[in-house]
């Protein structure tokens, strides 16, 4: 049930964007057991003046090819998240030629009652708990 936002500079082709999107999703299916059809992403391309970063923060050399990946998902163990970070960077590098240094991932965790997939219903909330419908 992850929701993924991908932010990058303008200039990528539709095929490049599709490959980036699929690479992130495949990494999630491989490392945190996300079903193949659980695919919800938004990709936003920005002008240079809207896309800001420090090119050397934490001694990592970033370029204008930086990709921000923000994932909102249910809570996971540290080992799962670190495997996910590594796999996303590897897949983007292999599939799109993105330098691993240019992949920044931010995970925000929440619980199942924080999701509504439509109809104004919290489909994953406990049916005996508060707020299920």
Query: Which SS3 state, helix, strand or coil, does residue 98 take?
Result: coil
Catalytic site positions: 2
How does strand 67-74 pair with strand 3-9? antiparallel
CA dist., res. 105 & res. 54, Å (int): 15
Q: Would you state the structure tokens that stand for residue 18, as one six-digit string?
A: 């599709």
Is the dihedral angle over the CA atoms 41, 49, 19, 16 positive or is it negative? positive
76, 105 contact by CB (below 8 A): no
Q: In what order do the strands lie in the sheet with 103-110?
A: 41-46, 3-9, 67-74, 103-110
């Amino acid at each position: 049930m992850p929701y993924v936002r991908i932010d990058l500079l303008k200039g990528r082709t539709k095929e490049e964007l599709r490959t980036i999107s699929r690479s992130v999703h495949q990494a999630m299916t491989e490392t945190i057991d996300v079903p193949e059809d659980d695919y919800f992403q938004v990709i936003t391309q920005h002008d240079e003046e809207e896309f800001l970063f420090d090119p050397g923060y934490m001694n990592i050399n970033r370029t204008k090819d930086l990709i921000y990946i923000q994932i909102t998902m249910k809570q996971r163990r540290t080992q799962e998240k670190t495997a996910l970070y590594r796999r996303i960077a590897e897949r983007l590098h292999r599939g799109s030629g993105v330098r691993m240094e240019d992949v920044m991932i931010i995970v925000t965790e929440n619980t199942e009652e924080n999701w509504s997939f439509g109809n104004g219903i919290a489909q994953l909330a406990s049916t005996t708990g508060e707020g299920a419908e």
